[in-house]
Amino acid sequence: MKLSVDIAGVTLKNPVTVASGTFGSGMEYGELVDLNGLGAVTTKGVASVPWEGNPTPRIAETYGGMINAVGLQNPGIDVFCSRDIPYLKQYDTKIIVNVCGKSEREYVEVVERLSGESVDLLEINVSCPNVKEGGIAFGQDPKALAHITEEVKKKAKQPVIMKLSPNVTDITVMAKAAEAAGADALSLINTLTGMKIDIQRRTFAVANKTGGLSGPAIKPVAVRMVYQVAQAVRIPIIGMGGIMRWEDAIEFLMAGASAVAVGTANFHNPYATREIVEGIRAFMEEKGIEDIHEIIGCVK
């Protein structure tokens, strides 16, 4: 049985990775799950310098979901290269580094810094709804998205995945813009901008007022967008948004994703990634599926 998939020339032993920001750089979850069992580890967004992130409270639970406004707190690329990459290299899994910045120059700086590192894929986060500068600004305008994709591609030594925001009118416009500008793959969706009000305290539940909604509540939106984008572009898609169980992962694969990322589910069940890989394998066995590609994009 073949579970491996190819993302821009990089072979993932199975189609399961994690969604950036939910898994750190794997160190904490590595004590609970065997990272060797993952197709790839996608790291928390890293910038050229350390970022403090937003004030607390940074998260709030909502029905079937959660809102986060962590604000991309990260230790900066130097610490990431000296500590987190060597940690991940101990495992037989691929490394996808999520890159964030406040300006094009900052993104490019991180990408250049990673050019000499043995990481497998770069995921460019142009869709974080929780930081004022950068982030989403690039992800909501097709011209800005195309431009940053080109700039990153000029310097990148690894294949580039552009991570798209769902907070747009037509995600296929963004997907096509990124593809035309040279993106090697796409990941979608990032969180949906949301808000929760604490009625007892008469204030916002997260200090940032708005935050990114994730979890099973957004899954139908994510599946729809993965399907639409799969029809619109030829580059591979890493699908994500509310994947809690293996059935959800299969849905994304059938909608056209070549791989899937498990995010919020890690909080609900730290063993979720492992269980999803096992579930996909069992499903293939039960249905007599020899190669995972038989189901990728099978629903048209």
Partner 1 sequence: MSAVKINARVIGQEILATDIYSLVLHAPEIAGQAVAGQFVSVYSGDGARLLPRPISLCGIDAEEGTIRLVYRIAGEGTREFSCLKAGEHVEVMGPLGNGFTLRDKPAILIGGGIGIPPMLQLAGEVKGEKKIVLGYRDEIFLTEEFEACGQVYLASEDGAYGVKGNVLDAIREYGIQGGVIYACGPTPMLRAIQAYAKEQGIEAQISLEEKMACGIGACLACVCRSQEQDPHSHVNNKRICKDGPVFDAGEVVL
Residue 18 exposure: Cα atoms within 13 Å on the Cβ side: 35
Burial class (CB in 10 A: 0-12, 13-18, 19+), 50: middle
Residues 33-72 touching partner 1, rule: CB under 8 A, are 44, 50-53, 56-61, 63-66, 68, 70
- Identify which of residues 29 and 227 has a Cβ nearer to partner 1 in the complex: 29
CB 33 → partner 1: shortest distance, Å?
A: 11
- Residue 89's Cβ-side half-sphere holds a number of Cα atoms within 13 Å equal to 10
Interface with partner 1, residue 29, by CB under 8 A: yes
Could you give the CA distance from residue 243 to residue 239 in angstroms, rounded to a whole number?
9
Residue nearer to partner 1 on the CB measure, 18 or 292: 18
Tokens of 49: 């310098």
Which burial class, exposed, middle or buried, applies to 22 when counting CB atoms under 10 A from its CB (0-12, 13-18, 19+)?
A: buried
Q: How far is the CB of 44 from partner 1 (least distance, A)?
A: 8
84 or 179: CB nearest partner 1 = 84
Report the candidate in 205, 46, 178 with the shortest Cα–Cα distance to residue 114.
Answer: 46
**Shortest Å, Cβ 48 to partner 1:** 13
- Smallest distance from partner 1 to CB 296, Å: 27
Out of 6, 34, 36, 79, the residue judged to bind partner 1 by CB under 8 A: 79
Antiparallel, parallel or unpaired: β 65-68 and 210-214: antiparallel
Q: What is the distance between the alpha carbons of residues 121 and 193, in angstroms, rounded to a whole number? A: 26
Query: What is the nearest approach in angstroms of partner 1 to the Cβ of residue 299?
Result: 24
Lay out the site mask for partner 1 across 230-269 (x = CB under 8 A, - = otherwise): --------------x-------------------x-xxxx
Q: Is 128 a catalytic residue?
A: yes
Q: Choose which of 6, 92, 271, 291 interacts with partner 1 (CB under 8 A).
A: 271
201 by Cβ neighbours in 10 Å (0-12 / 13-18 / 19+) ranks as: exposed
SS (H, E, C) 248-291: HHHHHHHHCCCEEEECCHHHHCCCHHHHHHHHHHHHHHHHCCCE
Pairing of strands 237-240, 259-262: parallel
Nearest to partner 1 of 20, 149 (CB atom): 20
- Nearest to partner 1 of 157, 268 (CB atom): 268
Q: Which of residues 93-152 bind partner 1 (CB under 8 A)?
A: none
Residues marked as catalytic: 128
Task: Name the site residues for partner 1 (rule: CB under 8 A).
Answer: 21-24, 27-29, 31-32, 44, 50-53, 56-61, 63-66, 68, 70, 73, 75-76, 79, 215-216, 244, 264, 266-271
